[in-house]
């Protein structure tokens, strides 16, 4: 094979990779699919626990996920905090005294979770999208605020 064939082959492989992977990357939504979904189911929510699970040693992003969540809730849900409709906690998932709640939520690593108590059930929801928004506090706060409003209104999807 001569050099031209090698270059053409490399360019073709790169083009194919771009065709398959770039659309997937660009299709990541800035809002969760459950917020924008048209197929919405609802439940009557009694209260929501927002929990930042972390380890003893935390990276900058882990700290930021928890701090931004706490700021968001304190800034936007003052009445809900006072009424007990929303609570926020930082929980060290590595401590033995927290083993039961870690198991209840299914925590595997540093993460942000909602524990939603409705009139019919308790369910947990991991909020993964916040990790992609830690470098933009206003986007993070807007995302989490909108999600919490939807969940408080009983929207499950």
pLDDT in tens, 80-120: 999 999 999 999 999 999 999 999 999 999 999 999 999 88
pLDDT at residue number 35:
44
**End-to-end distance of the chain based on CA atoms, in angstroms?**
55
What tens digit of pLDDT does each residue of 9-50 get?
A: 676 666 545 555 444 443 344 444 444 444 556 778 999 999
Can you give 7-41 as a three-state secondary structure string?
A: HHHHHHHHHHHHHHHHHHHHCCCCCCHHHHCCCCC
CATH top class, domain 33-152: alpha beta
0.75 cut: is pTM over it?
no
């Amino acid at each position: 094979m001569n050099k031209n064939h090698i270059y053409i082959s490399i360019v073709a492989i790169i083009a194919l990779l771009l065709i398959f992977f770039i659309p997937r990357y660009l299709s990541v939504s800035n809002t969760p699919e459950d917020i924008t979904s048209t197929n919405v189911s609802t439940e009557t929510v009694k209260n929501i626990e927002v929990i930042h699970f972390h380890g003893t040693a935390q990276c900058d992003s882990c700290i930021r996920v928890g701090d931004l969540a706490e700021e968001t809730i304190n800034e936007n849900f003052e009445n809900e905090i006072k009424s007990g409709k929303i609570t926020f906690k930082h929980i060290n998932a590595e401590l033995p005294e927290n083993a039961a709640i870690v198991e209840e939520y299914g925590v595997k690593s540093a993460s942000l979770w909602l524990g939603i108590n409705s009139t019919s059930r308790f369910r947990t929801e991991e909020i993964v999208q916040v990790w992609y928004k830690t470098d933009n506090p206003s986007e993070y706060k807007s995302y989490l605020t909108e999600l919490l409003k939807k969940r408080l209104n009983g929207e499950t999807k």
